[in-house]
């Protein structure tokens, strides 16, 4: 008899597994096609659009996906956003079972999650764990800051990149992107709310243009006493762990340890909300920023710049 915990995991996997694909980079060697790299992805629309990571597909001359039923297709790269490590692919033929996309704004630390992908070529491998932290920022190997990351201890390995991170309802709440080399159980996924915003721009324009502040942050809960003293409606806010040298944030006066709770006169509780607000329209325009510093409210002005690709 299957226990309740196992049953929950099994049911979640069954809801999403047919949408998960294996992605292969195809190159030519001595007039023969060979697989030069693999990754994961998942179908999120009935007309064949897929999420994956930019680093899985970047620079590839030809890409092939293998579906759950074993059928293979050559896919088209619709667009990629290297700075956020996301890419959108499209299959032009077939009848697809898309994954259901969830809502990352409702996630909680300690929540059970499942990662599905093709680590080291082992197709449709599932691992489980919990959400360890929310709203993380991480610097990529190219030096870019990736925002709105979910930290999890669900094991990821090379080849998991681009696969879905799902909740116990089988809803995708993140796109698996990275693990910390040399560390155990330090893995990251791009939150699905941020991924949706990037996908919209990639499908519509083929590229993403955004504004940039230059802060490393983490989503935190505000203690009731702090909320009461400052009459804050926020339950959560963004704790700034690092301000990049020479960045708009530094020029505007933000420092390590500040707690950002309002941006452009709007309440900010999650990194997804801030990401959505850092649109192209705010490049070169002063924005009001409300922070708590040393238990005091501080009002600043910050002028975002265009984020490098």
Angle at 231 between CA 230 and CA 236, to 5 degrees: 85
What secondary structure does DSSP assign to 244-266, as a single string?
-TTSHHHHTT--TT-EEEEETTE
307 three-class SS:
coil
Among the listed residues 81, 85, 147, 193, the single catalytic one is 85
Active-site entry in 55, 81, 83, 211 = 55
Give start and end residues of each alpha helix (H) in 38-174. Answer: 54-57
For residue 66, how many other CB atoms are within 10 A of its CB? Answer: 16
DSSP-based three-state secondary structure for 281: helix
230 included as an active-site residue: no
Catalytic-labelled residue, pool 83, 104, 148, 161? 161
Question: Whose CA is closest to 269, among 222, 223, 309?
Answer: 222
List, in sequence order, every residue forming a beta bridge with 300; answer none if it has no partner.
Answer: 289
Give the torsion sign (CA, 67, 73, 78, 79).
positive
- The residue among 4, 3, 11, 6 whose CA lies nearest residue 167 is 11
In a 10 Å sphere around its CB, with 0-12 CB exposed, 13-18 middle and 19+ buried, how is residue 181 labelled?
exposed
Residues carrying an active site annotation:
55, 85, 161
């Amino acid at each position: 008899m299957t226990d309740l915990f196992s049953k929950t995991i099994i049911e979640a996997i069954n809801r999403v597994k047919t949408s998960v694909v294996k992605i292969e980079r195809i190159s030519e060697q001595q007039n023969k096609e060979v697989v030069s790299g693999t990754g994961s992805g998942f179908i999120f629309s009935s007309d064949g659009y897929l999420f994956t990571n930019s680093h899985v597909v970047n620079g590839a001359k030809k890409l092939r996906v293998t579906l759950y039923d074993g059928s293979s297709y050559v896919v088209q790269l619709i667009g990629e956003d290297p700075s956020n490590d996301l890419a959108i692919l499209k299959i032009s033929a077939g009848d697809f079972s898309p994954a259901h996309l969830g809502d990352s704004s409702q996630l909680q630390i300690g929540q059970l999650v499942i990662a599905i992908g093709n680590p080291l070529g082992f197709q449709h491998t599932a691992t489980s764990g919990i959400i360890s932290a929310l709203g993380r920022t991480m610097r990529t190997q190219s030096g870019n800051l990736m925002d709105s990351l979910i930290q999890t201890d669900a094991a990821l390995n090379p080849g998991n990149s681009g696969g879905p991170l799902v909740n116990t309802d089988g809803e995708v709440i993140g796109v698996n992107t990275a693990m910390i080399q040399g560390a155990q159980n330090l893995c990251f996924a791009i939150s699905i709310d941020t991924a949706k915003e990037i996908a919209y721009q990639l499908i519509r324009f083929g590229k993403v243009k955004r504004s940039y502040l230059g802060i490393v942050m983490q989503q935190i809960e505000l203690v009731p006493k702090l909320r009461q003293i400052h009459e804050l409606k926020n339950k959560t806010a963004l704790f700034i762990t690092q301000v990049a040298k020479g960045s708009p944030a530094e020029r505007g006066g933000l420092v390590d340890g500040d707690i950002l709770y309002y941006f452009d006169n709007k309440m900010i509780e999650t990194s997804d909300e801030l990401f959505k607000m850092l649109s192209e329209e705010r490049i070169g325009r002063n924005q009001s920023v409300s922070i708590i510093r040393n238990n005091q409210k501080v009002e600043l002005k910050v002028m975002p710049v265009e984020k490098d690709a």
